[in-house]
Chain A
Amino acid sequence: MLIKRSGFLQVGSMATASLMMPKFLKAFETGNRVPQGNKVVVVLQLSGGNDGLNTVIPYRNDIYYKVRPQLGIDKSKLHTLTSEVGLHPALSGFKNLYDDGSLGIINNVGYPNPDRSHFRSMDIWQTASHSSDYLNTGWVGRYLDAQCNGCDKPTQALEVDDVLSLALKGSSVKGLAFKDARRLFGTSQEKFFKELSKKHLSHHEEQPIDYLYKTMAETISSAEYIFQQSKLHPGSANYPATELGKSFKTIASLIMSNINTKIYYLSLGSFDTHVNQQNQQQRLFTEMNDAVTSFVADLKANNRFQDVLLFSFSEFGRRVAQNASGGTDHGSANNMFLVSGGLKQQGLINGMPDLIDLKDGDLKYSVDFKQVYATVLNKWLGANDHQILGEKYEQLSFI
């Protein structure tokens, strides 16, 4: 049955593709079997609270160097973007993306009444709730609820991790988390589990146990589906041998397959740099820079970069002033990176943060992160952002 479905998808996509000849032919030449236009989102979560001010750096602003006498990064080491703004030294690939018109930066992203606790603020970002509300479902999960009601393979959102984030939990549908497609396949295909699932006798009335058997059956079939798909295009570009590199390679291989996944989710951390920030951020950014660079090269080589939007976020930014331990403490507003071959706005999408007009020593936000979600859901994925976010947010114009 699985093979049949995969076969059907392939035929189906060929048929669709033949309707859009020129693009299709172009794609065919480069060996791409997936029709263009199948939009995909990759969410990169920078866990721990990345220091945005040392990521996108206002190197002409005296206040920046004044409040960060040790942590402020010297102009000579930066990758300058404009006469005012530079990127962290480890982000050379992002500088190339900027020059290429494939990088967008949104500054001052946050939300009203910010919370400075990691777990609470991360919850707020993942559930897209107000800071006064507690939700048990995530924004991607609610996208699944809306898109995937009764669909036979709930693989529309995948997380490359061993544990599923709240962001991907819907009330009736949940995303699927796996680190390694082969290992997930191995576990779920154990004969005992397959037989259990096959021979389970359900009752006439819906019992609480049925939910578990349903999840089990879906896992078994999705694991096989993901594994088969991941083998179609193992990915050609050289990825760094890091965790993140491997995760991006897995995602690329799926993006180039026929899988129905629309959202991929992955995270990198810990950016919680209270002490000795410089080394830690340098190390993490190097990992991020190298992995994203390979990912973009891979997508470009396969003509998929137009259709993929990667964005990064962190649960909060950090204090404007450095602390006494060579680090920074928890802050509020922060910047987000947008990476895609299909951006309508590139470079610095809005103004740099105001370092004078602070609230309790922290940057003030001007863009609500839920506006970014609304934009992505509506304009990129064609979903009903209002229904998913529970409210109408003003959309941005970057796509």
Chain B
Amino acid sequence: MAVTEQVKKQHLLWRAGFGPGTQLNGAAAGSPFHLYDSLVKSSSDKPIYLDVATALDDRFFGDMSEKENVFNVQETKQRVISFAKESREYLKKLNLQWLDQMVESPAQLTEKISLFWHGHFACRSQNVFHQQMLLHSIRSNALGNFRTLLTEVSKSPAMLAFLNNQQNRKSQPNENFAREVMELFTIGRGNYTEKDVKEAARAFTGWGFNLKTGFVFRKFQHDTGSKTLMGRTGNFDGDDVIKILLEQKNTAQFIARKVYSYFVNEQVDEAKVHWLAERFYQSDYEIGSLMKDIFTSSWFYDERNIGAKIKSPVELLVGIRRILPMELKRDEVQLLLQRALGQVLFYPPNVAGWPGGKNWIDSSSLMLRLKIPQFLNGEPLAIATKIDDDQEMGMSGAASNKNKNGFADGMNRFKLNAVIDWPQYIKLFNAVSRPQLNQAIAGLILQTPKGSISSDVVNMAADASSRENYIKSVSIALMSTPDYQMC
């Protein structure tokens, strides 16, 4: 069965962005390759800085001298603790602002690849200011050079703190940072030895940060002795480690494989990955060329790669908002859904990021996913999510966060209060005749092969009282299917 140009363009929009919107969709003129060019163009500007916390940071640390915070006196500690308490609320704001970017920004490619790097460079931090800086590094370099991205991330206070490099000292090395840089960020397991980890950790000694200036190199904590890493010997520091790791072709291979599995298909085609890795290495790690190699290859548009990926919770939520423009009266509901579905931005499950694929799906998460379009359409939502003590910091316990809405069964039950701009959506079908409507809606909403959903079922859910109601009801029904979970 031939894949239509519309399906191919939608495939590109789902993988290189968050799916078709009412403005940009499969009806765009030209071939998928043209569409890719225009996506690149829309992503050429440096992204705006999502700043929720500078004022907060100033309020807590603005009057501190550099000396005070270098010596980490008791008062500094106290401020850091109070700051972390407020951070949690601000992180929610950052989360929602970034989600809005994913929905509304024309720089779809930047935001999508940033989401990938956000999982690759998984990091938890109680400090919202550090998180927003790390996010900005990622979004600014998402399509740039991997060397720059890796260096900026590795020197970010958020990551240095998360991976304990502040505690990595000449006298008492802490290997956590060095290990994760190798295992998760660059060459991957099996391509380094425990000795390499120890030696790299020594090279990273002295890398730290202070609250005022961010990254600092603490000369007196740095081990200046000779180290041997990946068969090379010298008086290496952290920058040298990164350089040596990037000289390894295994790093290009590791990244290319992960990118392929995320953007193309979890069933990895080793030959394609090898080809991508070679070119990625030759380009000296230009992420833009790697993405171009993928999205302008004909194999990317093969039927086996289309509709073959399970959307992550964020892809699902953002995708719905893109195709059904809506105003959310309670936008924090999106945080609840992220949590119930297992993907809260800035709270990856562990240093390895979100495992993805089938891991997203179990009975409860699937049934909730299937119900979301109906919740958006007015049906009340009843759900209690798990407590995450890193997010709650024990503060919710006093009110037993489950019962605070006072329902007898302990559920938080409320309406999502979404106001969907239906006319904007319905306009997309102006040129479609009534008998063709069913097909046209399915063609826009679903990426899985035709025939997966029986037309009897769709007709059962359809409200044929008017053309508008028909479009609405069929669209909501099709979005409430397992097929809609795929892209």
Interface residues of A (CB under 8 A from B): 47-49, 117-120, 123, 134, 136, 161-166, 169, 174-180, 183-184, 187-188, 191-193, 195-196, 199-201, 203, 207-209, 211-213, 215-216, 218-219, 222-223, 243, 246, 267, 269-276, 279-280, 283-284
Chain B residues numbered 87-123 whose CB sits less than 8 Å from any CB in chain A = none
Interface centre among A47, A183, A196 (most CB of B within 10 A): A196
> In the complex, what residue of chain B is closest to A174 when comparing beta carbons?
B362
Distance (Å) between the CB of A330 and the closest chain B CB? 10
Q: Mark B207-242, 1 if CB is under 8 A from A, else 0.
A: 000000000000000000000000000000000000
Contacts of B279 in A (CB 8 A): none
A75 CA / B115 CA spacing, docked (Å): 55
A208 touches B367 (CB 8 A): no
Q: Which of A123, A200, A208, A211 makes the CB contact (< 8 A) with B309?
A: A208
B477 touches A177 (CB 8 A): no
A-B contact pairs, 16 of them (CB 8 A): A118-B390, A123-B350, A162-B340, A162-B385, A163-B340, A163-B385, A192-B460, A195-B457, A195-B460, A196-B482, A201-B452, A218-B363, A246-B409, A270-B397, A273-B394, A275-B394
Interface residues of B (CB under 8 A from A): 124, 266, 307-310, 339-340, 342, 347, 349-352, 355, 358-359, 361-367, 370-371, 382-390, 392-394, 396-398, 400-403, 409-411, 448-449, 451-454, 456-457, 460-461, 477, 480-483, 485-486
B363 touches A183 (CB 8 A): no
B366 touches A196 (CB 8 A): no
A174 touches B483 (CB 8 A): no
Q: With A211-B358, A215-B362, A280-B398 known to touch, is A161 a contact of B386 (CB < 8 Å)? A: yes
Q: With A162-B384, A187-B371, A208-B486 known to touch, is A134 a contact of B351 (CB < 8 Å)? A: yes
Q: With A119-B349, A134-B352 known to touch, is A209 a contact of B486 (CB < 8 Å)? A: yes
Contacts of B401 in A (CB 8 A): 270
A210 CA / B285 CA spacing, docked (Å): 37
Q: Which of A48, A134, A164 makes the CB contact (< 8 A) with B350?
A: A134
Distance (Å) between the CB of B365 and the closest chain A CB? 7
A326 CA / B389 CA spacing, docked (Å): 18
A215 touches B364 (CB 8 A): no
Contacts of B339 in A (CB 8 A): 163
B389 touches A201 (CB 8 A): no
Contacts of B403 in A (CB 8 A): 243
> In the complex, what residue of chain A is closest to B409 when comparing beta carbons?
A180
Contacts of B365 in A (CB 8 A): 163-164
> In the complex, what residue of chain B is closest to A120 when comparing beta carbons?
B350
* Count, A-B residue pairs, CB within 8 A: 171
A398 CA / B218 CA spacing, docked (Å): 53
Distance (Å) between the CB of A225 and the closest chain B CB? 12
A270 touches B363 (CB 8 A): no
A212 CA / B477 CA spacing, docked (Å): 16
Q: Which of A165, A177, A270, A284 makes the CB contact (< 8 A) with B392?
A: A270
B477 touches A192 (CB 8 A): yes
Q: With A48-B397, A208-B308 known to touch, is A164 a contact of B363 (CB < 8 Å)? A: yes
A123 touches B349 (CB 8 A): yes
B361 touches A162 (CB 8 A): no
Contacts of A176 in B (CB 8 A): 362-364
A48 touches B366 (CB 8 A): no
Contacts of B342 in A (CB 8 A): 163
List 6 extra interface pairs beyond A117-B390, A201-B451, A211-B358, CB under 8 A: A49-B389, A119-B350, A211-B361, A212-B361, A215-B362, A270-B397
A48 touches B387 (CB 8 A): yes
A102 CA / B94 CA spacing, docked (Å): 50
Contacts of A136 in B (CB 8 A): 355, 359
Contacts of B411 in A (CB 8 A): 179
A213 CA / B444 CA spacing, docked (Å): 21
Q: Which of A187, A195, A219, A243 makes the CB contact (< 8 A) with B410?
A: A243
A119 CA / B122 CA spacing, docked (Å): 13
A195 touches B456 (CB 8 A): yes
Contacts of B397 in A (CB 8 A): 48, 269-273, 280, 284
B409 touches A216 (CB 8 A): no
Q: Which 6 pairs show the lowest CB-CB distances between chains A and B?
A: A272-B394, A212-B482, A199-B454, A270-B397, A118-B389, A219-B363
Q: Which of A48, A117, A177, A279 makes the CB contact (< 8 A) with B364?
A: A177
B457 touches A192 (CB 8 A): yes
B393 touches A272 (CB 8 A): yes
> In the complex, what residue of chain A is closest to B354 when comparing beta carbons?
A136
> In the complex, what residue of chain A is closest to B398 when comparing beta carbons?
A280
> In the complex, what residue of chain B is closest to A118 when comparing beta carbons?
B389
Contacts of B363 in A (CB 8 A): 164, 174, 176-178, 215, 218-219, 222-223
Q: With A191-B460, A274-B394 known to touch, is A212 a contact of B366 (CB < 8 Å)? A: yes
A213 CA / B367 CA spacing, docked (Å): 11
A209 touches B307 (CB 8 A): yes
Interface centre among A161, A163, A187 (most CB of B within 10 A): A163
Contacts of B454 in A (CB 8 A): 195, 199-201
> In the complex, what residue of chain A is closest to B176 when comparing beta carbons?
A132
Q: With A162-B384, A275-B394 known to touch, is A169 a contact of B362 (CB < 8 Å)? A: yes
Contacts of B370 in A (CB 8 A): 193, 216
> In the complex, what residue of chain B is closest to A193 when comparing beta carbons?
B370
A270 touches B394 (CB 8 A): yes
> In the complex, what residue of chain B is closest to A172 when comparing beta carbons?
B358
Contacts of B364 in A (CB 8 A): 162-164, 176-178
> In the complex, what residue of chain A is closest to B410 when comparing beta carbons?
A243
> In the complex, what residue of chain A is closest to B388 when comparing beta carbons?
A119
Distance (Å) between the CB of A222 and the closest chain B CB? 7
> In the complex, what residue of chain A is closest to B448 when comparing beta carbons?
A209
Contacts of A164 in B (CB 8 A): 362-365
A165 touches B457 (CB 8 A): no
A284 CA / B400 CA spacing, docked (Å): 9
Distance (Å) between the CB of A31 and the closest chain B CB? 29
Distance (Å) between the CB of A320 and the closest chain B CB? 19
A48 CA / B395 CA spacing, docked (Å): 11
Q: With A192-B457, A192-B477 known to touch, is A272 a contact of B389 (CB < 8 Å)? A: yes
Interface centre among B308, B349, B352, B477 (most CB of A within 10 A): B349
Q: Which of A177, A184, A213, A271 makes the CB contact (< 8 A) with B482?
A: A213
A212 CA / B307 CA spacing, docked (Å): 13
Contacts of A246 in B (CB 8 A): 409-410
Distance (Å) between the CB of A81 and the closest chain B CB? 27
Contacts of B124 in A (CB 8 A): 117, 119
Contacts of B349 in A (CB 8 A): 119, 123, 166
> In the complex, what residue of chain B is closest to A271 when comparing beta carbons?
B397
> In the complex, what residue of chain B is closest to A273 when comparing beta carbons?
B394
